[in-house]
Amino acid sequence: MMNRRDFLGASAAAAAGLALCSTVRGQTAPGAAPAVTQPKIPRWRGFNLTELTGGRRGQRFRKSDFEWMAEWGFDFARLPMSYWAWSSPENWLEIDEKELTPIDEAIEWGREFGIHINLNFHRIPGYCVNGREQEPAQLFDSPRAAFERALPAAVHHWQYFAKRYRGIPRERLSFDLFNEPPFMADHGRYVELARALVGAIRAEDPQRLIVADGADIGQTPVLGLVDLGLVQSTRGYLPKMVSHYTATWVPVNEFESLERPTWPMTDSRGVRWDREKLRTELIAKWDPLTQLGVPVHVGEWGCFTRTPHAVMLAWMTDLLTLWKEAGWGWAMWNLRGGFGVVDSERADVKYESFRGHQLDRQLLELIRAY
């Protein structure tokens, strides 16, 4: 359990974060353009590396992943991590420093191979898009008391990371606050939480580049964060009838159709999905941000193994074309595994033997071209 000294310290940090962000907010007159310089980022392209996503102890990232990315011309690695890998829900404020060694290694490999490292809390104290009920108190969809219990712990972890990695140039390292906030009718609590986290990070490391995922599982821009000077992260998983065909972890009501995918494809309501529909859903929706100079990056995208390979490639070609036109970078989920270019175990692919692995060369060459 949290001891009183740690809890009060983290609570003070949370309050300081909110106060700092309120100062930033106070620079903007109601109805005026935000008085903030928005960050500029390259069109980073790369992959999510998922060794710490599930929170199991003793996992390590692979140096070979960084070698391959550099060899193929990629320059970005998003590391979605569960805080369980260095802490626990039983004692939110206790951090086992030796368990952060894999992160230190990844950051060093990023420097060695010219790969920007983006640290993301896939599970933060109080929230995860998968199995959030396993947290002892909830940041979202909960009474105010639960939010106020979880907030100091969430702040504490980012404050610790900000202090640990202070001094590493922002060109090499960025922080992504947490993965895929839930569907929400109102952004108020998310904005409050993000402001507290940003304030705590900047109190330790004012120059750190910070990313915030869009609301609604990364799908909706958040105008309430514009004045903080953040990158906002979107997703490339629509339509799910193509990207997640037969994926059992996706609620059935999120699929536009359950039919075998084609591309283009008409969903169960008679709506045709093609490149122009993707433009409307995935690009134009973010215009209110981009028109204010807020940079957008696609933090996750990809296609599950059950979608026919030719359909996947056609759909991806449209996505990649649109993102290149928009000037947006992206990070595929994942490099190795069911959504990736290596060891994806698709039934309809002729794989190339690659250093002891199975490489989907056709997919790799497609994404390298964009």
Q: Where along the chain do its domains lie?
A: 41-337
Cα–Cα dist 206/162, whole Å: 9
Q: How many residues does the chain have?
A: 370
Measured on CA atoms in the order 231, 368, 246, 265, is the torsion positive or negative? Answer: positive
What is the tally of helices (H) and strands (E) in the chain? 11, 13
pTM here is 0.91
Structural tokens at position 103:
């992160």
Side-chain half-sphere exposure of 184, counting CA atoms within 13 A: 22
Residue with tokens 């390979």: 309
Cα–Cα dist 90/229, whole Å: 34
What string of pLDDT tens digits covers the 370 residues of the chain?
A: 444 444 444 554 455 444 444 333 333 334 444 468 999 999 999 999 999 999 999 999 999 999 999 999 999 999 999 999 999 999 999 999 999 999 999 999 999 999 999 999 999 999 999 999 999 999 999 999 999 999 999 999 999 999 999 999 999 999 999 999 999 999 999 999 999 999 999 999 999 999 999 999 999 999 999 999 999 999 999 999 999 999 999 999 999 999 999 999 999 999 999 999 999 999 999 999 999 999 999 999 999 999 999 999 999 999 999 999 999 999 999 999 999 999 999 999 999 999 999 999 999 999 999 9
Q: Which residues sit opposite 48 in a β-bridge? A: 78
Q: Are 278 and 234 in contact (CB under 8 A)?
A: no
CATH superfamily of 41-337: Glycosidases (3.20.20.80)
